[in-house]
Every structure is written in structure tokens, then in C-alpha cells.
Amino acid sequence: MHDAELQSHDLARYTDAIRHASRPCLIGHTSDTMCDSYFGGVPLVPSDFQWPAKDGRPLAFIGQLHCSDVNLVPTDGGDLLFFYDNRHWGYKPSDLGHAIVVHVSANAARVQAELPTREVPAFFGLRKKTVQPRVYQRVNITLTASTSYPSYERKLVTFADDVAEECYLEFCGAIQPDIQIGGYPSPVQSDSMELDCVNAFGLGTPEEWVLLLQLFEIGDMMWGDAGALYWFIHQDDLAQNRFDRVWMVTQCA
């Protein structure tokens, strides 16, 4: 609980209400040492790994989270690999395939992935060009337990006046983590991303979708203008280690 930050934002009298509305989460911290969890670089994959693509274009590798670091994921080991096509925002069902999460078993022998090369149409389809996925700067991370808080838009905490509401907005902005797993998302725009997930698959209710990863701009990653990627998974799929229906939404300022 961020009691000191709440007090510094004149929210001490709302501590109990804010604590009641809060959710546990993990937050990521960059590290100067090599870690099993990281963003950027290239993934470690089985030798028969099929690099994901959308519309013939290979997706960019975003990061690898070691399952033993991520207590949200009910697996006995292995890694979650995140891939993304930045030409899509995740606002409509036709974006399906723009963001992929692959679970690699802990027992699988791994090699450093080779970047795929694909030919795609260019110049209004009259020519072809060769493309490879972008490789971002590797950023190693560690994860620690923390607490997340609902955005004001969710109306889960009642404030006495506009001044207190503004203080809460400033508090949420001050503690916003660049890397988060579980808990509430920290939206850049509207806080209705779980509804986008429901619309994408026609599955469940917004309350049943879990924040798998929130990633703001780290290293040389840029998501629009001061943006973030938000990856969600339905709670039933998470319990069954199914990652084929993960949905990702991009937001930026």
C-alpha cells in the first residue's frame, strides 16, 4: 500500500476506501544484470518454433517473461513470449492476430531465435519487398509485489469534492509503473479496454478479463506518442494455461 504517497497527495482520509478498491499486482524494475525476464532482444525458443505473423508480416518480439517470476501465471515453469504488429491497435475484432503470446515449456530445449525474412507486397501491390521484424534494445527486468489502484473513471472510490478527485488523479499518475502484471491498468486514454476484449472474442464480461501485461515505453520502444501496450487474458483461459485468445490494446496520448 502506498500510504506515504497517499498522504503526500492529501488523500489520507480516503486511505481505507482506496485500500478496499485496490488490487495486488507485480511491477517490473529494469536491471543491469542478465535476467530470465526481459523485453527486447530476441527470444529463446525450441528449434521448431514458428515465428508468428499477421498478413504475411512477422510480428516484432516484445519480451519474454519467466513464469516463475510471474505468480499470476499458473504454470510450473517455462516462459511467456510476447509478439506484436504495431500496425494495429486492438480496437476491433479484425485486428485478431496482431498480438500473440506463446507459452514455451520449461522442459523444451531452447536456441536463440533466428529472425524470419518474408516478402510482402509493396508499391500498391506492383512490387515486393523483403521485411524482418524489428529488434528492440534488450532491457532486463525483475518483478516485485505491489498494489494497483482503479482509475478515477471506474468510480470505485467516492470523493467529497473536485479537489480530492484531482489529488487522486495526481496520485495515480505519480505511482504509475512502466511494467505491470495483474491489477488495474493505468490507462492513457479511456479505461474500457476490457470491453474491447469482450468485443473481440464475444467472451465473458469485462470483469472476467485479467491484465496480463502493461508495458509503457522502455529502452527504445515507442508506442505512438507516450503510449502503452495492454495485454489481457480471460480468467478461465489463464487458469487453463491457454494463451491463444490473449487480446492487446494500444493507447497513446
Residues above pLDDT 90, as percent of the chain: 71
Of residues 226, 210, 176, the one with CA closest to residue 28: 176
List 188's β-bridge partners, or say none: none
- Rounded CA-CA distance 13/86 in Å is 43
Cell 543491469 sits on residue: 32
DSSP helix/strand/coil, 60: strand
- Rounded CA-CA distance 8/4 in Å is 6
Report residue 124's pLDDT band, with 50, 70 and 90 as the boundaries: low
Above 80 in pLDDT, residue 162? yes
Above 90 in pLDDT, residue 253? no
Tens-digit pLDDT profile for residues 84-123: 998 887 888 888 889 999 999 888 888 988 898 877 777 6
For the record, the C-alpha cell of 215 comes out as 508495458
Write down the mean pLDDT value for the chain. Answer: 91
Strand intervals (E) in 132-196 = 139-148, 179-181
Q: Which structural domains are found in the chain, ordered by start?
A: 3-251 (2.30.320.10)
Q: What is residue 206's predicted lDDT score, i.e. its pLDDT?
A: 96
- In the chain, what is the straight-line distance between the N-terminal and C-terminal CA atoms, in Å? 28
Report residue 251's pLDDT band, with 50, 70 and 90 as the boundaries: very high
User: Is the CA virtual torsion 67, 148, 136, 127 positive or negative?
Assistant: positive
User: Is the CA virtual torsion 47, 128, 101, 24 positive or negative?
Assistant: positive
Q: What is residue 73's predicted lDDT score, i.e. its pLDDT?
A: 67
Report residue 72's pLDDT band, with 50, 70 and 90 as the boundaries: low
DSSP helix/strand/coil, 135: coil
Above 70 in pLDDT, residue 76? no
Report residue 74's pLDDT band, with 50, 70 and 90 as the boundaries: low
Q: What is residue 170's predicted lDDT score, i.e. its pLDDT?
A: 96
- Rounded CA-CA distance 9/152 in Å is 15
